[in-house]
Structure 1
C-alpha cells in the first residue's frame, strides 16, 4: 500500500519493498511500532501500534485531511457525505452498500478501504457509482466483489469474491502493482493474463490459478516478485521465463506433474535465479493427495540457487528424502505441513542443513527422530504441531548453542523430553523459551 501510494522512493541497490521494510524497522527501533509476531527466520511477521499512538494518529490524520473514517450513527454517516471532496483516504467499517448508494463524491480520494465483515453483492447501478465517485482511486481494499476494470488509476486492488475466472477486461488495469483475490472458488482461470501486467509486483490468491498458455514469448513481467498460487501445469518455460525476478512463488496441484523430470517441469522453477521463497502443496482436487503422492524430490542442484524458505504440504514423501533438502545451502526456513513426510522414523545425516534457522513440522506420523546437534548447527527455532505419535524430542538438540525457542502444540508424548531440553539449557545459563500447549490443561508457556 505504501508503494502504491507513492510514499516509497527508490534507493540505489534496494527494491521498493526492501526500502519499505527498512522504514518499518526504523519505526520499531523508535518504539512507535510494536512487533506482534516474528517469522521463523527472525523477520517481522505482524506488527501494531500502541492504542494511544493509534488514537493520536487518527486525530492528526483527520485534522490534516490525510485520512477519514466513515461511521454510521443514528441513521446518518459521519462526517456528512458532502464533506468527502476534502479527503484523500477513506475507511469504512459498516453499511458499505448504504454508503455507496448515497452517491458519494470524492474526486481527491486516492485510497478506499473497507473493514466491514458483511458480505455485500453490489448491484450494477451501485458499481457505476464507484466509478463516478472515486475515479482517481489508487488503492481499493473492499469486501464486495465487482468489475473494477474502469478504475484505470488503480495500483492496489484487494477483492473478496466468488470468482472462478479472472475476466479478460481486468487487463485494462495497466497501472496495477498489487492484486489480491480472496475467492470461495478452489480454482481461478486467468483470462486477463496477469503476466502481461507490466507494473504488477505482487499477485496473491487463495485459489489455484491456471495461467494461459502462450504460443510466443511476449514482454517480460520484470517487476513481478510474488506469484501464487499457480497450478503445476502453469509452470512452463514460457510462463516462468517471463517472470525472471520472482522472489516468492506458490504452486498447488498435482506436484507429480512438476517433479517427474519431463520437459517444462521443475527445471523451470530451478532457473528462477532470484527466488527466495517457495511453497509446494500437493492437491489432487477433488481427490485425496494420497492418491497421487510425490515419489521423489528433484536433486538439490535443481532447486533455485537463492532459496531461503521452503514449504511442503501433503507430499507424503519418505523421510529418507530429507537429505535432498539438507543439501540446500541457502535454506534458512523449512516448513513441513500436513504429512509432507510420512513414516515412523527419521534419521538425519551429517553435512546437511548447514544454515537452517527455523524448522516447522505440522501433522505427521513420525514416531522416532534420531539426530545430532551437528546436523542443525544454526537452528534457532523449532516448532512441532500435531505430532501425536512422536515419542520424544531428541535431547541432543539441547547442545545446539543457537537454539532459542522450542514450541509444542498437541505433541503430548514428547512433552517430558522437551522439558529435559529446557532444564539442560537452563543449567548452561542459555536464554531459551519453551512453549507447550496442552488442550487438556490450562498451561502457561515455560521460559
Structure 2
C-alpha cells in the first residue's frame, strides 16, 4: 500500500524518481526542499516525530513515533514504536503496561536476545497493530492468540533463528505480507508429507520463505493476489505446483524457488549440497514451465533442475544457482527481450563451453554475473551482442574468446585503405624498467607482422571472415627471457583481449568489489599513456595493504575513483553517492579521492568534519568548478546527516605540488601523491612538497614497479 501511495505522489510530480530497480520499481527518490520543509512542518503539527538513539524530556509530550524507549516512558497517544536491540537483554519493565500505554500503536519492531514469554501476550492486545516484526537469536513460540490482531497486515519473523508458529496465521484475512525463516515450524503439524492446512488469505501479496513441508503446496493456488513468493521444497513438490497451465497467481512478480531433496528440519540453509560432486544426476526432473506467469519480472531458481525451464518474456531478472544445466542455456536466455540482469551462480551449468552468439542477442541485458563453474573452460562471444551491457562480472578463471564480424571487417578495411606497414609501439618502452617491459610484452595484442602480405590477409578477412594470426616483431636489445615471455603472451591481431579479474579487499571500500583488467589497461600503463581507473583501484588496494601493516587505517580512507566521477550522472546523485562513502569517516580521518575532471586526474584529500579539501593537481589549475559542483552539495548532506552545524563555506586548499611536463602523466602523479601522503603521514599536507618540480621518471618508475609486483602477487 505504501508503494501505491508513493507512485501516486510520483504521478503528481510531488516526488522525483532518482533510481529504479531492474523490475521498474522505485529504488531511490527525491523531493524538493520546499516540499520537505512542508512535510516536517505538518509532521510537527501532528506530533509525528522520530528520535534516533537519543531521548529528550519531550518524548512524553505526545510524539507518535520513537526508535528507542526509556524505561519510564508512558505514552498513550503514540502511534508507532520502534525498539532497536542493544547489547543487553530486553528489560521487562519497559513493557509491563505496553498494552495500556501503547494501545494505539500501529508499527512494532522488536529485536531481542531473550524475549519474555509474557511479552507476546501483551502484544496480542494491541488490536490496532498493522505491522509486527520480531528478530532475535533465542527460541520464539508465537501463540494462537495472534489471530486477535485483526488489523495486522505485515507479519515479519524472518530474522528469528528458532521460531514456531500457529497455523492460525493462514486464516488472518487482513494479512498482506508474511516473512518467515526457512526453517520455521508450525504447531500441531504432523510429520507426514504435505500436511493439509486450511488457508484463507485473500489479500496476501508476499509469502517468503515458505517451508514446503509445512503445508500442502497445492493450497498456494488459493493465494490469488500473491506478488512475491519464496518457497523451499522438493523437486516433486515443485512439479506439483507447476504441473498445469494455471499459475499460482496472475499477479506474481517475484518467484524464488529453492529446491531441496533433504529433510528441511535438519538440512542447512546454505544449499551447499547442490554443489557436491556426488550429486545424483540420474534421477528424473520434471520440465518446469513459467511461461504462464505473464507478469513475472524476477525469477530465482536454486537447486538441481538440469533442464532450462520455459520462461516468460516479461522477465527482467533471472538468477540460476546450482541448477546443473546440461545444455548451454545462453541461446534461449538471449531471446528474452526484457531481461536486464542475469546471474549464473556456482554450478548453474556443468558444460565446458558457453557460447553467446548473435542468435542470442540479449537486447536489454545491462548486468551479467558469471560465478565459478569448475567444468566451464571457455566463454565465446560471437558477433555484436549485449548492446546495453553496463556491468559484466566474470568471477571465475575461464578462457574468454570474442569474435566480432564487425570488428573484423573494420580492421580489414583499415588495412586495405592504408596499405602501409603498421609500426609497433615498442619504441615507447625505451628506458622503462624491465618489469614494465615484461608486463607490456605479456599483455600487448597490437603487434603486426611487417610483411607485404597485409593486403592479402585483409581480403581473406573480408571474404572468409577469418581471424588473422600475426607474428611477433623482434625486440632489439631485449633480454632473451623478455623475448620468450613476449612470444608466449602476445595474441593475434584480432583476437579478444585477455581479461584478468580480481576481488578487492572488502575493507578498502566497505564491500567485496570485483573488477577486471583488459589489455588496454596494461598497455596504457606500460607505455605511460592515460591511466585508467582500474590501475588506480589496484594501487589503492596496494596502499591499503600497507596501511594495514603499519596500523594507519584509522587515519586514511580510500574512495573508489569511479565514485562521483564527472559525467557519471546527475550532480545530486553523485553528491549522494560520495556522501554515502564519506559517512564511514570519524573525526580526524582523511578520505583520499582520485577524481577525473575531464581527461585529467587529480587527488582530493577530504576532511568533512572541518569542511576542508586539499587539492593535489599536477597542472595546478586551481579549483575546478566540477569539484565545487560535487563537493558543495556533498558537504551539505554530510553536515545534515552528522548534525554538525558547520559553516556552509568549504575551505579549498591548493597544495603546491610537482607539475607534470607532458600530457598523460597526471594519473601517475596521483599514484605518487597518495604514496607520499601515506609514507609522510606526519607531514602537514600543504608542506608535503618544497617545490613544484616535476617528479623524475625514476620516481614514477618506482610506483609502476610496485604496481606490477602487487599485480603479480594478487593475480
TM-score, scaled relative to structure 1: 0.71
Report matched runs for 1:25-174 at 5 Å.
25-26=10-11, 34-35=18-19, 38-44=20-26, 46-47=27-28, 60=41, 63-70=44-51, 77-83=55-61, 85=62, 87-92=63-68, 96=69, 99=70, 101-102=71-72, 104-114=73-83, 116-118=84-86, 121-144=89-112, 146-147=119-120, 148-161=123-136, 162-163=138-139, 165-174=141-150
Question: Per-residue CA shift, 1:49-79, capped at 9, x if unaligned?
Answer: 5898999578536642443233666xxx314
2:393 is aligned, of 403, 408, 427, to 408
Report matched runs for 1:390-401 at 5 Å.
391=377, 393-396=379-382, 398-401=384-387
**Partner of 1:278 in structure 2?**
255
Q: Of Structure 1 and Structure 2, which has the larger fraction of its residues in helix?
A: 2
**Partner of 2:503 in structure 1?**
439
Distance 1:82-1:302 versus aligned 2 partners, 3 A rule: closer
- Kept in 1: contact 2:207–2:226 (CA 8 A): yes
Distance 1:394-1:362 versus aligned 2 partners, 3 A rule: same
* Equivalent-residue separation in structure 2 for 1:25 and 1:362 (angstroms): 36
* Equivalent-residue separation in structure 1 for 2:327 and 2:148 (angstroms): 53
Q: Which moved more, 1:373-382 or 1:266-275?
A: 266-275
Corresponding position: 1:317 with 2:281: no
- Kept in 1: contact 2:395–2:501 (CA 8 A): yes
* Equivalent-residue separation in structure 2 for 1:72 and 1:56 (angstroms): 23
Give the unaligned 5+ runs of structure 2.
411-498, 505-533, 539-560, 569-715
How much does 1:30 deviate? 5.7
Local SS of the residue matching 2:128: coil
**Partner of 2:231 in structure 1?**
251
- Kept in 2: contact 1:40–1:381 (CA 8 A): no
**Partner of 1:14 in structure 2?**
none
Corresponding position: 1:223 with 2:203: yes
Question: Per-residue CA shift, 1:219-252, capped at 9, x if unaligned?
Answer: x311111111112234536632432221111101
- Kept in 2: contact 1:120–1:143 (CA 8 A): no
Question: Per-residue CA shift, 1:288-341, capped at 9, x if unaligned?
Answer: 53368885243427864543321012x1333xx11x234x3443321113x233
* Equivalent-residue separation in structure 2 for 1:392 and 1:54 (angstroms): 54
**Partner of 2:178 in structure 1?**
203
* Equivalent-residue separation in structure 2 for 1:149 and 1:309 (angstroms): 35
Corresponding position: 1:374 with 2:359: yes
- Kept in 1: contact 2:85–2:110 (CA 8 A): no
**Partner of 1:340 in structure 2?**
323
Local SS of the residue matching 1:223: coil
Question: Per-residue CA shift, 1:111-147, capped at 9, x if unaligned?
Answer: 1124x35255335443323222211111112324551
Local SS of the residue matching 1:281: strand
How much does 1:159 deviate? 1.5
- Kept in 1: contact 2:196–2:216 (CA 8 A): no
How much does 1:410 deviate? 2.7
- Kept in 2: contact 1:195–1:243 (CA 8 A): no
1:296 is aligned, of 281, 285, 288, to 285
Q: Which moved more, 1:154-163 or 1:355-364?
A: 355-364
Distance 1:128-1:42 versus aligned 2 partners, 3 A rule: same
Distance 1:436-1:278 versus aligned 2 partners, 3 A rule: farther
* Equivalent-residue separation in structure 2 for 1:357 and 1:150 (angstroms): 46
Corresponding position: 1:236 with 2:236: no
TM-score, scaled relative to structure 2: 0.47
* Equivalent-residue separation in structure 2 for 1:301 and 1:71 (angstroms): 45
Q: Over aligned residue pairs, what C-alpha RMSD do you find?
A: 4.2
**Partner of 1:431 in structure 2?**
none
* Equivalent-residue separation in structure 1 for 2:385 and 2:209 (angstroms): 39
* Equivalent-residue separation in structure 1 for 2:15 and 2:290 (angstroms): 43
* Equivalent-residue separation in structure 2 for 1:364 and 1:377 (angstroms): 22
* Equivalent-residue separation in structure 2 for 1:54 and 1:436 (angstroms): 48
How much does 1:394 deviate? 4.0
Give the unaligned 5+ runs of structure 1.
9-16, 428-434
How much does 1:172 deviate? 1.3
How much does 1:274 deviate? 2.7
Local SS of the residue matching 2:238: coil
How much does 1:180 deviate? 1.2
- Kept in 1: contact 2:171–2:198 (CA 8 A): no
- Kept in 1: contact 2:52–2:66 (CA 8 A): no
- Kept in 1: contact 2:330–2:354 (CA 8 A): yes
* Equivalent-residue separation in structure 2 for 1:243 and 1:344 (angstroms): 34
- Kept in 2: contact 1:68–1:91 (CA 8 A): no
* Equivalent-residue separation in structure 1 for 2:333 and 2:76 (angstroms): 64
Local SS of the residue matching 2:180: strand
Distance 1:340-1:299 versus aligned 2 partners, 3 A rule: closer
* Equivalent-residue separation in structure 1 for 2:294 and 2:64 (angstroms): 43
Local SS of the residue matching 2:372: coil
Distance 1:407-1:128 versus aligned 2 partners, 3 A rule: farther
Question: Per-residue CA shift, 1:74-118, capped at 9, x if unaligned?
Answer: xxx3143442x2x222233xxx4xx1x21x22222111124x352
Local SS of the residue matching 1:108: coil
Distance 1:63-1:142 versus aligned 2 partners, 3 A rule: same
- Kept in 1: contact 2:315–2:338 (CA 8 A): yes
How many residues align? The count is: 391
How much does 1:156 deviate? 1.1
* Equivalent-residue separation in structure 1 for 2:340 and 2:42 (angstroms): 41
**Partner of 2:466 in structure 1?**
none
Local SS of the residue matching 1:325: coil
* Equivalent-residue separation in structure 1 for 2:300 and 2:218 (angstroms): 25
- Kept in 2: contact 1:61–1:68 (CA 8 A): no
- Kept in 1: contact 2:15–2:31 (CA 8 A): no
